[in-house]
């Protein structure tokens, strides 16, 4: 097995292990980064939904409140407005979903499932929490769900949810007086839930890891080519030349010219030492012949 082959085997093994380790570590780092990116996007979606809720409460509801005694208009409800706007957004970005749920909602359709109820209770138990996230499996698909608390911070919300006697009569006629009341200012009554499939995270992680792995492989190939060229010029050719001279000298042929590699590296020093040894051997052979 030649020196070049041994060198390449060792280099390929070392680079393969290094690329494998780097790819695995980079995938973990990239996946973490992808999750953070999805969290940021969800945060932007939540900020938009919150802005829609605030606009509806402060600008739309006052315009429609005069008709609330005889007609209940869902457009004046903050959660309805937020869901409607998000539904339009979802036409272009169907991977995201939005839901608002409360422990005691006016509309029974807004009741939370088991996970959502647990997250809402965590918000109620710790008012310092501003968001919670969980990864659940639905129909064989992993889903990342991020929850944000809904806290009653404006008096306008209590007009519909504090006491059925002061709530819009049309709303009470539609939904009854049993649910969605008794809310208090400063109370966390529910949460906004924005979800995205983990496949979105995995896809981004795989794409980035593939690019990084390809770059590492290309870099390795360049290192392999360059080091082989340098190995051939600096080591293999001079050694092969000295080996050829040594072979002829060992057979008693001292007519072959000396080989001295230019430079001050170890191979150059070796060639000088070999030439001195050759001259000493040649002198010794002449003395024997004489």
Question: pLDDT tens-digit profile of 189-213?
Answer: 899 999 988 887 787 777 777 888 8
Residue ranges making up the domain that contains 55: 38-202
In a domain, 118, yes or no: yes
Strand-pairing partners, residue 101, are 191
Q: What's the pLDDT tens digit per position in 239-279?
A: 777 777 777 777 776 667 776 667 777 777 777 777 777 77
Q: How many domains does the chain have?
A: 2
- Domain check: are 267 and 159 in the same one? no
Q: What's the pLDDT tens digit per position in 127-136?
A: 899 999 888 8
Q: What is the mean pLDDT of residues 106-127?
A: 89
In a domain, 47, yes or no: yes
pLDDT at position 290: 61
∠ CA 125-130-131, nearest 5°, is 95
- Domain check: are 108 and 134 in the same one? yes
Q: Please give the order of strands across the beta sheet that includes 188-197.
A: 97-102, 188-197, 141-151, 132-138
- Domain check: are 102 and 173 in the same one? yes
In a domain, 221, yes or no: yes
In a domain, 65, yes or no: yes
Residue 217's H or E segment, with its range, is helix 198-231
pTM value is: 0.65
pLDDT at position 18: 81
């Amino acid at each position: 097995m030649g020196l070049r082959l041994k060198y390449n085997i060792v280099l390929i093994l070392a680079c393969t292990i290094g690329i494998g380790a780097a790819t695995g570590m980079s995938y973990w780092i990239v996946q973490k980064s992808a999750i953070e990116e999805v969290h940021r996007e969800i945060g932007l979606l939540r900020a938009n939904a919150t802005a829609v809720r605030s606009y509806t409460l402060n600008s739309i509801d006052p315009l429609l409140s005069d008709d609330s005694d005889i007609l209940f208009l869902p457009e004046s409800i903050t959660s309805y407005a937020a869901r409607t706007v998000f539904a339009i957004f979802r036409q272009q970005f169907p991977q995201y979903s939005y839901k608002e749920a409360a422990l005691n909602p006016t509309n029974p359709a807004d009741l939370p499932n088991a996970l959502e109820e647990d997250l809402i209770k965590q918000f109620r138990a710790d008012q310092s929490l501003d968001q919670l996230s969980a990864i659940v499996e639905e129909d064989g698909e992993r889903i990342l769900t991020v929850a944000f608390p809904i806290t009653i911070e404006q008096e306008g919300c209590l007009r519909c949810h504090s006491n059925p006697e002061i709530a819009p009569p049309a709303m009470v006629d539609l939904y009854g007086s049993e649910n969605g009341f008794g809310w208090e200012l400063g109370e966390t009554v529910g949460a906004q839930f924005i979800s995205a499939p983990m496949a979105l995270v995995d896809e981004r992680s795989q794409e980035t890891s593939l690019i990084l792995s390809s770059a590492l492989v290309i870099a390795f190939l360049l290192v392999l080519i360059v080091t082989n060229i340098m190995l051939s010029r600096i080591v293999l050719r001079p050694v092969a030349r000295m080996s050829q001279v040594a072979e002829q000298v060992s057979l008693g042929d001292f007519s072959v010219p000396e080989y001295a590699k230019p430079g001050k590296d170890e191979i150059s020093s070796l060639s000088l030492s070999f030439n001195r040894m050759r001259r000493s051997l040649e002198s010794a052979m002449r003395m024997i012949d004489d």
